Amino acid sequence: MDKKFSPRIVQDRERIVTQCRVCDSSNLQLAVDLGFQPWGNHFLKKEEVGKEPFYPLCVVFCMDCRTPQLDYTVPKETMFGEHTYLSGITKTLSDHFKIVAEEIDVMFFESVSEKSVLDIGSNDGTQLKHFKNLGYDVLGVESAEVPAKLANEAGIPTVQAFFNFESAKNLQRKFQVVNAAGIFFHLEELHSAADGVKEILANDGVFMVQFLYMKKIMENLAFDQIYHEHLLYYNLRNLETLLNRHGLALFDAYLSPVHGGSVISFITHKGKRERSPRLVAMMEEEERKNTNEFTTYLEFAEKIREAKKKNLEYLDIAKRQGKTIFGFGAPVKGNTLLNYFDVGTEHLDYLIERNELRRGLYSPGMHIPIVIEGEFEKLPDIYYVLAWNFKKEILARNQHLIDQGIEFYFPVNPE
C-alpha cells in the first residue's frame, strides 16, 4: 500500500460470515487470504486519498456444498449505491452482450410475438439495448444512480433499486427472460433475490446467469477477480445447489471467453426441462479436474504468492533500467492485484483509462493517479495491463504503439 499512510481497518463483527452463503453450513475453511484491502470500486477524489477504509479480503471454502466465498460482507449500500463502472465503455463486452441476446432469442423466443426481458444489475443498459433491437419489451433494475440515469436517458427503462424479493414483487409482472450478467455473485440478499427471480419468471421463461467461472479463475491464475463486490464464486455444482433451494434448475450452459472465462447458463423452473449434453459434460469435467476440492484452492493460493514474487521482480528490474511504466486500465479487479502485489507509484506513474467518470481520481489503497487515454504528454516504455480480460481488443487497438517498441505486459495472461 501507499507507504505514506496507515490504513483504516474496518472489521464489523456482524459482517463476518460464519455460515455458508449458499447452504448455511458453518463448516468453512480458509482457502485464499489477500489481506486487508480497500473496496476496489471506490476510486478516490484527491481529498479522499488516505481516508478510505480497508476490509478483510479472504476466500473461505464450504466443505459441505463446495462454495468458495468471501468471509466478510461490505454493505451493499457502500458498494452499489454509487460507482463509476460502465458496461458500455468496452466494445468487446457490448459485442458479447449482442451475441447472447441473439442466442437466447433464437433458442427459445424467436417465434413469440410479445416477449419481455428484465435485466438485474442492468448498469447503463448496454445489454438491454441489444434485446430492444430484437423486439423485446425491456426493463432494467440497477442500484447505482449514475448508470441508471444514463440508461433512462438512452431510452432503456430502468428502476433504480436493489433487486430482491420485495422489489421483484413490486414489478407486478412476469418476464420471458430474466438476465443477470456478472451480478448474481454480487448479491448480499442472495436468497431473497433468487426468490425474486422465481416470482417474476414466466412459466416457460428462461433465467440466464452469466458468471465468472471459478474453474477458469483458478486455471488462469486470475485472482484479481476476487474482490469485495464478488461475494461468492460459482462452479456449476454449487450454483445448482443454490438454484435447487429456490425451485429453479440449470438445464444448459457453455463456456464463453469473455472476462477470461465465463459461463453462460440457462435456468428455468425445476422439472421443466432436461439437462443438455453439454451441461452434463461440463459438470463431469469439473469433477475430473477436482475443481470442487479444497486442496485445489490451497494450490491456487500458493500460485498467487508465486505470481506476486514474479511480478515485483519484473517491475523492479524495469525501474532499475530507468523505464517508465503506466498501468493500462483502471478496472476494479486491478485494485485487488495492485494492493496484494504492493504495486504503487514507485512502480506505476499513472493508470490510463477511457472511462470519463474516473477522470482525475486515484486508485484506492495504492493512490495511483488516473489519466484519460491520450491526455498525457509522453508515452511510457511499458504498459502494465490491468484490463487483461480485453487483451485482444487492447492489442489490436494499440498495434501502432507496439510497432514503436512499447511493451504491453500482462500480469494475468489467460489461455
What is this structure's pTM?
Answer: 0.89
| pLDDT attached to residue 349 | 97
User: Of the candidates 36, 71, 106, which is a domain's last residue?
Assistant: 71
Say whether 392 sits in a helix, a strand or coil.
helix
The answer to whether residue 91 is domain-embedded is yes
d(CA 16, CA 70): 9
Q: What is the pLDDT of residues 45-84, one digit of tens each?
A: 999 999 999 999 999 999 999 999 999 999 877 776 555 5
pLDDT at 3 over 60: no
Q: Are residues 249 and 383 in the same domain?
A: no
Q: Are residues 172 and 259 in the same domain?
A: yes
Q: What is the pLDDT of residues 258-304, one digit of tens each?
A: 878 899 999 999 999 999 999 999 999 999 999 999 999 999 999 99
Q: What is the pLDDT of residues 96-112, one digit of tens each?
A: 889 999 999 999 998 88
Query: Counting Cβ atoms within 10 Å, is residue 337 exposed (0-12), middle (13-18) or buried (19+)?
Result: buried
Q: Are residues 111 and 241 in the same domain?
A: yes
Q: Are residues 247 and 110 in the same domain?
A: yes
Name the domain count of the chain.
3
The answer to whether residue 299 is domain-embedded is no
Q: Are residues 101 and 229 in the same domain?
A: yes
| pLDDT attached to residue 239 | 97
| pLDDT attached to residue 245 | 97
> Which residue type sits at 250?
L
The answer to whether residue 154 is domain-embedded is yes
pLDDT band at 85 (very low <50, low <70, confident <90, very high): low
Strands of the sheet containing 382-385, edge to edge, are 370-372, 351-353, 325-328, 382-385, 407-409
Q: Are residues 185 and 332 in the same domain?
A: no
Residues 117-136 as b or e (16 or more Cβ within 10 Å = b): bbbbbbbbbbbbbbbbebeb
The answer to whether residue 166 is domain-embedded is yes
Share of the chain above pLDDT 90, in %: 78
The answer to whether residue 139 is domain-embedded is yes
pLDDT band at 9 (very low <50, low <70, confident <90, very high): confident
d(CA 329, CA 396): 15
d(CA 287, CA 266): 20
- CA dihedral 39→41→46→51, nearest 10 degrees, is -10
- Arithmetic mean of pLDDT over the chain: 92
Mean pLDDT calculated for residue range 134-138: 95
Q: Are residues 287 and 239 in the same domain?
A: yes
| pLDDT attached to residue 240 | 97
User: Of the candidates 71, 96, 113, which is a domain's last residue?
Assistant: 71
| pLDDT attached to residue 173 | 95
pLDDT at 4 over 80: no
Q: What is the pLDDT of residues 335-366, one digit of tens each?
A: 999 999 999 999 999 999 988 888 999 999 99
CATH of the domain at 330: 3.40.50.720
Q: What is the pLDDT of residues 232-258, one digit of tens each?
A: 999 999 999 999 999 999 999 999 988
| pLDDT attached to residue 259 | 79
Residue 402 or 80, more confident: 402
CATH of the domain at 259: 3.40.50.150
| pLDDT attached to residue 27 | 98
Q: Are residues 113 and 240 in the same domain?
A: yes
User: Of the candidates 47, 71, 95, which is a domain's last residue?
Assistant: 71
| pLDDT attached to residue 90 | 65
Q: Is the dihedral of CA 145, 83, 69, 10 positive or negative?
A: negative
Q: Which domain holds residue 395?
A: 318-409
Identify the helix (H) or strand (E) that includes residue 208: strand 201-212
Identify the helix (H) or strand (E) that includes residue 278: helix 277-288
| pLDDT attached to residue 215 | 97
| pLDDT attached to residue 146 | 86
The answer to whether residue 311 is domain-embedded is no
Q: Are residues 91 and 66 in the same domain?
A: no
Q: Are residues 124 and 222 in the same domain?
A: yes
Q: What is the pLDDT of residues 160-171, one digit of tens each?
A: 999 999 999 999
Distances (CA, A) of 20 to 10, 232, 271, 272: 22, 10, 26, 28
Say whether 193 sits in a helix, a strand or coil.
helix
Q: Are residues 91 and 223 in the same domain?
A: yes
Share of the chain above pLDDT 70, in %: 96
The answer to whether residue 363 is domain-embedded is yes
The answer to whether residue 103 is domain-embedded is yes
Q: Are residues 282 and 220 in the same domain?
A: yes
C-beta neighbour count of 91 within 10 angstroms:
11
